[in-house]
Amino acid sequence: MILPDSHAHLPGVAEDLGGAALEGLLADYAAAWAVPGFCRPWLVDIGTQAGDFPARLALSGPRPFLGYSLGIWPGLPALEDVPGSLAALEADLASARAREAYPGELVVAIGECGLDYHHMDGSPASQAALFEGQLDLAAREGLPTIIHTRDAFEATLGLIKGRGGRQALLIHCFGYGPKEAEAFLAEGCLVSFAGNLSYKKAEALRAALALVPRGRLLLETDSPYMNPEPRRGRPCSPRDIERTYALAASLLGLSPEALEAELSQTLGAFLFPQRLGQ
Ligand SMILES: [Zn+2]
């Protein structure tokens, strides 16, 4: 079953599962998308480095159901030259936009960007500078921001404080607990859960899910990572999001169909708020 996935790394899917698997996946999304709705895309391919967009576009192509985000993950070599990295990203965005027939045809968001104190590839100060530069770019361009935050709750919250009223923010692959979810929600963020929602020790994630109000919740694969149980540890694709929908729907007391309808609307409103007049 084909369902909305707010966060996938399609080059990684092709690398781990094969180019034919990606082709088949994209064909199935195209067929599922044949019934038009206001929500497009259903699938977001996430950038992690400056300069990665042309190869991603060549791999997956312009597709009516697929949006691309452009962003820099807080790692090396980007953190060694933050101003240079941000300038390169801005140039990427300008050249991607120049290929669009209309705004949003290809580029739908900035990210993933944020703070990773688990890997700690660069100092907190350099990570903050790279993150803030991308938050500012997204604000200038009127694009939503997809945020990566790992073991860096306080610092992430500090950097987004006050922005939520002015720009759309999504905490992707939420990895904290109910208290942190409430704090991000209070700042206006959307919260997206990945396959780790199904992991045995993820009670805090499941408790956080229950707190997210309607219209602020999304689901994702973060494929090829985070395969939901019972296939944890193996590479996954956006097809595997079906198990995350089923679990989230049962936790929320909804039918999977009702959850899909709700999340399609939420993803559309997040990526294209201007179409809803928000
Ligand atoms: Zn990711």
Please tell me the distance from the alpha carbon of residue 172 to that of residue 190, in angstroms, as a whole number.
Answer: 8
- What pLDDT does 178 receive? 98
- Distance (Å, rounded) from C-alpha 65 to C-alpha 69? 14
Q: Over range 63-68, report the average pLDDT.
A: 93
Count CB-CB contacts under 10 A for residue 135. 20
pLDDT, residue 272, reads: 84
Domains held by the chain: number: 1
Q: Report how far ligand 1's centroid is from the alpha carbon of 44 (Å).
A: 10
φ and ψ at residue 34, rounded to 5 degrees: -55, -25
Write the pLDDT tens digit of every residue in 150-203.
999 999 999 999 999 899 999 999 999 999 999 999 999 999 999 999 999 999
Q: Which of 171, 179, 259 has its CA nearest to residue 214?
A: 259
CA–CA separation, 263 and 245 (whole Å): 10
* Alpha-carbon span 62 to 68, nearest angstrom: 9
| Residue 40 pLDDT | 54
Residues of the chain with pLDDT > 90, as a percent, come to 86
pLDDT of residue 41: 58
pLDDT class for 32, splitting at 50, 70, 90? Answer: confident
What's the 219 CA to ligand 1 centre distance in angstroms? 12
Does position 37 have pLDDT exceeding 60, yes or no?
Answer: no
Q: How far, in Å, from the CA of 95 to the mean position of ligand 1? A: 23
- Over 50: is that where the pLDDT of 38 sits? no
What are the strands, taking DSSP E only, across 43-164? Answer: 43-45, 66-70, 107-116, 145-150
Cα(69) to centroid of ligand 1, in Å? Answer: 11
| CA 141 to ligand 1 center in whole angstroms | 22
pLDDT in tens, 83-130: 999 999 999 999 999 999 988 899 999 999 999 999 999 999 999 999
Per-residue pLDDT, averaged over 203-216, amounts to 96
Ligand 1 midpoint to CA 258 (Å): 26
CA of 46 from ligand 1 middle (Å) equals 6
Asked whether residue 36 carries a pLDDT value surpassing 80, the answer given is: no
Say if residue 222's pLDDT is above 50: yes
Which of the two residues, 223 and 31, has the higher pLDDT score?
223
CA of 112 to the centre of ligand 1 (A): 6
Ligand 1 centroid to 15 CA: how many Å? 15
Range of the structural domain that residue 114 is part of: 5-276
At 278, is the pLDDT very low, low, confident or very high (cuts 50, 70, 90)? very low
| For range 126-145, the mean pLDDT | 97
- Confidence band of 277 (pLDDT split at 50, 70, 90): very low
CATH code of residue 147:
3.20.20.140
